[in-house]
Amino acid sequence: MDSMYVHDGIEKYLASWIARGRRLANKRPVMNKDLWMQMHQLLSQFPSISWRWVKAHATSKYNNAVDLLARRAAMKIQASLPEGYTPPIKEDPNQQKPLFR
């Protein structure tokens, strides 16, 4: 991925954000909570994914190829959804309590 924000959020901070009740170390709420909820759910479904950061907008053929594929897939999915659709977020049945509320 080319987002250091997302990379570090996943690799370094997500677990501690959850442990602190979705708050940063400075006690402020985590921004983009809804997106981090979805990310946490996806991470639990695909635990073997490894994450690597690459420089954005670089001349890396792999970064450019992945960016193009991601944009095409997002446009294809978006075009197939009803207007205003928001994907549901399911609770993790293995959790003792909901992670985000």
pLDDT along the chain (101 residues), means of 10: 88 89 87 88 88 78 83 88 76 48 44
**91 in a domain, yes or no?**
no
Q: Are residues 3 and 46 in the same domain?
A: yes
pLDDT at 8: 92
Q: Are residues 75 and 29 in the same domain?
A: no
Q: Are residues 20 and 45 in the same domain?
A: yes
**88 in a domain, yes or no?**
no
Domain count for the chain, please give it. Answer: 2
**94 in a domain, yes or no?**
no
pTM to 2 decimals?
0.58
**What's the domain range around 9?**
1-52
**79 in a domain, yes or no?**
yes
Q: Are residues 44 and 30 in the same domain?
A: yes
**61 in a domain, yes or no?**
yes
- Give the DSSP letter string of 46-91: -TT-------TT-S-HHHHHHHHHHHHHHHHHHHHSPTT-------
